[in-house]
Amino acid sequence: MFELYWPWIWLLLPLPLLVYRFSPPSERQQATLQIPFFQTIDQSLPDQSIVDFNSNLWHKSCLILIWLSLLLAASQPRWVGDPVSLPVTGRDVMMAIDLSGSMESHDLKLKNEPVTRLDVTKNVVSDFIMQRKGDRLGLILFGTTAYLQAPLTFDLNTVQTLLNEATIGIAGERTAIGDAIGLAVRHLRKRPEEQRILILLTDGANTAGEVSPEQAAVLAREEKVRIYSIGVGAEEMIQPGFFGSSFGAQRINPSVDLDETMLTLIADQTGGRYFRAKDTEELKQIYDLLNQIEPVEQSKDIFRPVQPLYYWPLAMASLCSLALALSLSWLPLAGGKTEWTH
């Protein structure tokens, strides 16, 4: 949509006429340059009345066009685009993902194929990340140590890429759950209250680190960080017998080391919730539920992009001024007269 930001500028439209009407007339000066052969030149030029008429018409047209262009430029013409929703500062969600050695267990399936727990986690969490438009997301990876892989950011594509590039064991073989919670609290504590969320995914118990999960949970509660903990791993797995045959096969619980009591405790203490994911479908349902429990805030503010257009009439005024200046310098050579008196 085209609009003028300062339309009242057009009240100045009759200003040149007022100046012409009420300003005192200037005195005409006689030319001081004498040309002895002027009469010969004058006879070879077109009829003087025609030249005067054409030149005056051209000059007045240029002056009118220059004035209109200047007024149009001064009134700030612009093109206003369609309304665009502004990105909002929604929740601050920090995700802590376990990369300990046990995440390499092939007890889960993806498209009916046995894969590692980390592969399933990447697949499900990647979808969750791309659904959180409007939230700041951060990523913590932990094993024996915990480290910040991605700070809180609106750049969801980068967070997703960093998660997909993570490999088992790069942070150590053991599990420092308490350190991961403490690191998340340190980065969330500066964010607004009621928006601090930690989603903790692990498949074991705390076996490393300087801070226990219980101590970290107390700190999280004091800083008003809600923790949603997820325990991942199948409860039953058939271990093949001799030479991969069914003879001597055993049923085992691959999640025997999962400390559900601890994960439930830290979730309850911080106002969050504990979830148990025994297969890929349950893990998807958990993240879908998290989207419902902590929905992305919708933007109510809109923004209309504005493109200024003043430079077009300003360029027109400049071109007309240049053309007028060139014609004034050429006109005396053609035998014309330019009169500015009235």
Grade residue 149 by pLDDT with cuts at 50, 70 and 90: very high
> Could you tell me the pTM of the whole model?
0.62
Coil, strand or helix: which one is 201? strand
Q: Is 172 helix (H, G, I), strand (E, B) or coil?
A: coil
- Is residue 219's pLDDT more than 90? yes
Question: Is residue 336 predicted with pLDDT exceeding 50?
Answer: no
Domain edges within the chain: 2-19+38-82+304-334, 92-239+249-293
Query: What pLDDT does 206 receive?
Result: 92
**Binning pLDDT at 50, 70 and 90, where does residue 183 land?**
very high
The architecture in CATH of the region 92-239+249-293 reads 3-Layer(aba) Sandwich (3.40)
Q: Which residue has the tokens 């700190």?
A: 219
Residue type, 58: W
Rounded Cα–Cα distance for residues 163 and 222 (Å): 29
Helices (H), 152-301: 156-164, 177-188, 213-222, 260-269, 280-293
Percent helix, strand and coil across the chain, each rounded to 5? 45, 20, 35
Q: Is it the case that residue 340 has pLDDT exceeding 50?
A: no
Cα–Cα distance measured from residue 55 to residue 182, given in angstroms and rounded to the nearest whole number: 84
